[in-house]
Amino acid sequence: MEEKGKIDLNIKDGIAVITFSHPKSNSLPGELLRNLAKTIEEAGNNYSAKVILLQSEGQKAFCAGASFDELISIKTFEEGKKFFMGFGLVINAMRKCPKIIIGKIQGKAVGGGVGLASAVDYAFAHKSASVKLSEFALGIGPFVVGPAVQRKIGLSAFSQMSIDSDWYDSDWALSKGLFNKVFDTKEELNGEAQAFAEKLAELSPEAAFEMKRIFWQGCEDWDLMLEKRAEISGRLVLSNYTRNYINQFKKD
């Protein structure tokens, strides 16, 4: 795994497998986010890809969300907005993608990782895949990923996750509709996700495209809305509260 992380795309038998990785619990620096958004767009526009399987590398965390190293390095509002807009670009790429996106969530997801899990069209998860929105505790708030999470689990559950920045287990996520199926072993998770992708790859791509439009109906203004949300996060990340929190976290 490269120090800066990487994005891999492999298309075979109609299944486009997108794998993201980063040595720090699959966290997502700004450059990696933009590469992920471009890769999703590439797979969506590739005629040979009928369905997309999104996953991260390794057997532990699915995604630790924002890179703390990059967060603490942000010095200006413009830098902050650009960083958080990376999550917006990925969510919008998933929203606009004409292919069904299956998520394979093999471990814990934090912040932006919950946003990714929320933006897939169908999520398979391992029982260890607890979820957490930690942004409010940082003094920021889940502003950019929030619309995707709220769309998937509803305002009440999203409010609970946002205010009480604690871990919620996979059973909770399953009950709220964030996950569609949860498995006891990684072998079951891998096998079922692959089998499901193979089944969807045989179905009508035109029907999949039309269903995607229905699934995301009412979200047509997200390009502008997520940019506005990124501006809120870009301003708050410069606060003394947030900078002190991140510095203390890194020391611990």
| In-domain check, residue 234 | no
The whole-number pLDDT of residue 107 equals 98
* Domain annotation covers residue 252: no
pLDDT of amino acid 1: 42
Amino acid at residue number 124 = F
DSSP type of residue 174: H
CATH number of the structural domain spanning residue 11: 3.90.226.10
Summarised one tens digit per residue, pLDDT across range 88-127 is 999 999 999 999 999 999 999 999 999 999 999 999 999 9
Domain span including residue 111:
6-201
Residue with tokens 């996060």: 233
Chain centre to alpha carbon of residue 206: 25
Residue 32 inside a domain? The answer is yes
Per-residue pLDDT reduced to its tens digit, 201-224: 999 999 999 999 999 999 999 999
Q: Is 122 inside any structural domain?
A: yes
H helices of 102-164, where? Answer: 112-119, 146-153, 155-163
Query: Whole-angstrom distance between the N-terminal and C-terminal Cα of the chain?
Result: 25
Query: Taking the CB of residue 220, how many other CB atoms lie within 10 A of it?
Result: 12
Task: Report if residue 231 sits inside a domain.
Answer: no
Residue 229, domain member (yes or no): no
User: In this structure, is residue 246 part of a structural domain?
Assistant: no
Residue 27 corresponds to which amino acid?
A: S
- Total number of domains in the chain: 1
Answer whether residue 250 is part of any domain. no
User: 3-class SS at 228?
Assistant: helix
- Residues lower than pLDDT 70 in the chain: 1-2, 250-252
